[in-house]
Amino acid sequence: MTGEEIPVWIADYVLMGYGTGAIMAVPSGDERDFAFARAYSLPIVATQMPPDAWFAAHQVKPSANCASWPNAFVGEGTYVNSRNDTLTLDGLTEMTEAKRRTIDWLEARGIGRSAVTYKLRDWLFSRQRYWGEPFPIVYDEDDMPVAVPDSLLPVTLPELADFKPQALDPNDEVTDPIPPLARRADWVKVEMAVDDPITGKKKSPASMRREINVMPQWAGSCWYELRYLDPTNSTAFVDADVERYWMGPQHDGHTGGVDLYVGGVEHAVLHLLYSRFWHKVLFDLGHVSSSEPFHRLFNQGYIQAYAYRDDRGQTVPAGEVQERDGKYFYDGEEVAREYGKMGKSLKNIVTPDEMYDEFGADTFRLYEMSMGPLDASRPWNTRDVVGMQRFLQRVWRNLVDEDSGALTVSDDECPEPLLRALHVAIDGVRRDMDGMRFNTAIAKLIELNNALTKHVEAHGTTPRALAEPLTQMLSPLCPHLASELWQRLGRTDEITYAPFPVADPALLVTDTMEIPVQVNGKVRTRLTVPRGATNDELTALALADEAVAKAMAGKAAKNVVVVPQRLVNVVV
């Protein structure tokens, strides 16, 4: 832009796999370029002026002279030294605007254009191991790869007793690794008639050599959502009408694909990236009707648990660690405790089978959903599972006699306060389920069941008008328990297909409301007042409250601020 000559330097830190491998070094705004320029006494021209706070943090005086800078400035600053006769970026503070002006300038002169570049990460698709999808490829007598005819698909893996790759001399840098499949010579060599890759004509049966590497199992997981739609189809991976029904663009008014994908954030870089690539290829070939495989992604958090390491730093099985006097021991030796993601590497996995055996699948499932927001990492504590087990036991006892097993549900009318509590729960649980806030949905069900427990203690039975919707709301979280209760309630239909209960708007409106009362900005009490109470009424109730009077300590109120229907603040 300025007409100055630009020196060319060759450095070992340039990434050859990134673009052309050549970069425009801007030392003032890049740590590596800054260090390189300092090492070779190259001029460093500021292109963005850091804010004063940056200089203050580094304890240097604000200056555009980069020689006084302790390191490069990486961030948003005010552009300087960025102009020529026809373009100026000086004074701009946003990089997006600077880019737009530069691109417009280049396009106007026909020396550049705006473009979006997509980069697909390198994919190690062929692996020297046993497990994985075999390639439907054979090699002819000229060692040319040829596709296995459709009539001989699928290619299945042979039985193997030893899965280890063949060991090679560590000093051997020439010989290729030998995959486990090479051991089955009877499988590798096959008589097969294939199509000539040039003429397309069928060749005479001849001895072929199978590909002995395998795919990395990504090949299956990249499209398995499609196979789930039509798993017994032996003529196609999915019937076109079936795929269109479940995943077509018209489904639920969106662009198509699976409605919701729940997976860890690590899936976004690998599995979801290549699944999308795979799906787009299938779409371009006309095999699927939707251009995207998934409509919505939700990343769940990690389950975290304690892990333990010995004095060598090696992890030991968490389930075999004993606690004594605040210290932890494994096999008689003291170990250090740490916290991390539950996984095989840390040997701190709690297997579902153990939880099923001790607490049951519904309790295990409910505890996992109650631990906290689904997208947050949550700590695992087996002792807390008991709380969910007790909740389900209370639900059961409210509907079924614990001694006789008889149903204790009646057709008596549900009292209005309990009916209101039910519909408040229905409304809240429905919204929480839609927002995947399972932990708060469970909290609302516990609150409803607590209100029901008080009713049962007083009257001995549960109204059917409450028992059925409570069971339905439990069903997505505890399907086994809910299905059993549904049948005991005399229902012959499947609870899974029963419409979810709908809240009555009239029962969501209460005649009273709770108003917090502050004294000098600090909440001292909460008043239950009639809905629609006037400001004067709220003031009188607040000043008459004992907690407020105690907080005022005999002082007179200088002012009473009332936020209508929301808050009272007494200023003394």
Which pLDDT belongs to residue 59? Answer: 87
Task: Quote helix, strand, coil % in the chain, to nearest 5.
Answer: 35, 15, 45
What are the φ/ψ torsions at residue 365 (nearest 5 degrees)? -65, -45
Beta bridge partners of 73: none
Closest CA to 198 of 140, 255, 242: 140
Which pLDDT belongs to residue 382? Answer: 81
What are the φ/ψ torsions at residue 274 (nearest 5 degrees)? -80, -30
| Residue 6 CB neighbours (<10 A) | 8
C-alpha 359/C-alpha 389 separation (Å) is 7
Query: C-alpha angle 265/269/294, rounded to 5°?
Result: 75
Query: Helix H segments across 92-217?
Result: 95-108, 185-188
Distances (CA, A) of 317 to 40, 308, 329, 380, 399: 53, 7, 11, 16, 42
Strand bridging mode 333-341 / 378-379 = unpaired
CA 307, 311, 313, 314 dihedral sign is negative
Closest CA to 52 of 43, 62, 67, 60: 62
End-to-end alpha-carbon separation of the chain, Å?
67
Which pLDDT belongs to residue 121? Answer: 63
Residues, the chain: 572
C-alpha 231/C-alpha 234 separation (Å) is 8
What are the φ/ψ torsions at residue 37 (nearest 5 degrees)? -65, -40
Which pLDDT belongs to residue 205? Answer: 83
Token output for 148: 């296995």
Token output for 420: 């209101």
| Site of tokens 């699927």 | 288
Which pLDDT belongs to residue 301? Answer: 86
What letters, b where the CB count within 10 A reaches 16 and e where it falls short, cover 258-297? beebeeeeebeeebbebbbebbeebbeeebbbbebbbbee
Which pLDDT belongs to residue 19? Answer: 65
**What are the helix and strand counts (H, E) for the chain?**
17, 20
Q: Which residues of the chain have pLDDT under 70?
A: 1-2, 13-20, 118-123, 165, 167-170, 172-177, 250-254, 269
| Residue 455 CB neighbours (<10 A) | 19
Strands (E), 373-466: 378-379, 409-410, 462-463
SS3 at position 365: helix
Residues 6+ apart with CB under 8 A from 332: none
Which pLDDT belongs to residue 388? Answer: 95
Distances (CA, A) of 130 to 135, 164, 391, 449: 12, 8, 47, 53
C-alpha 426/C-alpha 444 separation (Å) is 9
Token output for 475: 């069903």
C-alpha 444/C-alpha 370 separation (Å) is 11
Residues 6+ apart with CB under 8 A from 174: none
Closest CA to 379 of 313, 484, 307, 437: 307
**Domains in the chain, ordered, with CATH?**
1-119 (3.90.740.10), 219-299 (no CATH), 303-349 (no CATH), 363-507 (1.10.730.10), 511-571 (3.10.20.590)
Model-wide pTM > 0.75 = no
Distances (CA, A) of 78 to 29, 75, 285, 340: 12, 10, 49, 42
For residues 429 and 500, is the Cβ–Cβ distance under 8 A?
no
C-alpha 338/C-alpha 336 separation (Å) is 7
Beta bridge partners of 568: 517, 562
For residues 138 and 209, is the Cβ–Cβ distance under 8 A?
yes
Which pLDDT belongs to residue 192? Answer: 87
C-alpha 494/C-alpha 485 separation (Å) is 11
SS3 at position 445: helix
Residues 6+ apart with CB under 8 A from 557: 543, 570, 571, 572
Which pLDDT belongs to residue 415? Answer: 94
SS3 at position 222: coil
Token output for 530: 């009639």
For residues 461 and 412, is the Cβ–Cβ distance under 8 A?
yes
The alpha carbons of the chain give a radius of gyration, in whole angstroms, of 35
50: preceding bond cis by omega (within 30 degrees): no
Q: How far is CA 137 from its chain centroid?
A: 37
Over the stretch 275-321, which tens digit does the pLDDT of each residue have?
Answer: 888 899 999 999 999 989 998 888 888 888 889 999 898 999 988 89
Which pLDDT belongs to residue 447? Answer: 95
| Residue 517 CB neighbours (<10 A) | 23
Token output for 235: 């003529």
